[in-house]
Amino acid sequence: MLAKRIIPCLDIRNGRTVKGINFESITDVGDPVEMGQLYSEQGADELVYLDITATHEKRKTLPQLVKRIARNLNIPFTVGGGVSGLQDAEILLENGADKLSINSAAVRNPEIIPRLAQRYGSQFVVVAVDARLENGRWEVYVNGGRKPTGKELFSWVKEAQERGAGEILFTSMNHDGTKQGFAVEALKKMSAMVSIPVIASGGAGKAEHFRQVFRETDTEAALAASIFHYNEIPIPILKKYLDEEGVAVRR
């Protein structure tokens, strides 16, 4: 069994790490570089940095911040926000990003997925998907969860894989920031229907939620923010718990 990955997520706005609930009520929680260093020291397997207002504000992720992060980290990190083409990807790569997360741009122009995959390799391309369950149907949203698209979650995820995505980062907007657990049923269906890694995001509140998502789905990684930002579940304690529960994790 492949070891499961634990991934802290740092949402960025104006160069600072922020956190919200259901994509709203945003508050400042710290410096993204300092927090990234701490998570690396604690044993995080990877980090994800998402500039949550870049697309909405029609600007690019700050390359200077990416460069600072790269200089201070020794674990892989993914960057997303405002990426719309190969030039954006090139800038992020040159400044030290290991992977690129695309969300709104991929929905609006799906051809960006194969273009990036062909240029840099599928392992570089993480397709992030924000979706909300409404009336029994999961709908994909863009612009940092502000705009519904009409796209159905599972058909879009399947299409993203077919176009060359290397990973899927799925965030349930219903669960985001609630600390009530991941969207297990959706993740179970999603991870069974694709052959690329699926990263669970949205809803982690206690160690048992990680155990549940890893045991009940084929999800390969789980991402969380506030429980790490506020030191509610330190990464070493979480990994020790999962190991004792029979979940293979990287040590």
Q: Are 17 and 31 in contact (CB under 8 A)?
A: yes
- Of the candidates 11, 51, 88, 176, the residue annotated as catalytic is 11
Rounded CA gap, 34 and 36, in Å? 5
Is 11 marked active-site? yes
Q: How far is CA 208 from the centre of its chain?
A: 20
Is 28 marked active-site? no
- Of the candidates 51, 88, 130, 176, the residue annotated as catalytic is 130
Rounded CA gap, 97 and 66, in Å? 7
Q: Are 140 and 128 in contact (CB under 8 A)?
A: no
Catalytic residues, which ones? 11, 130
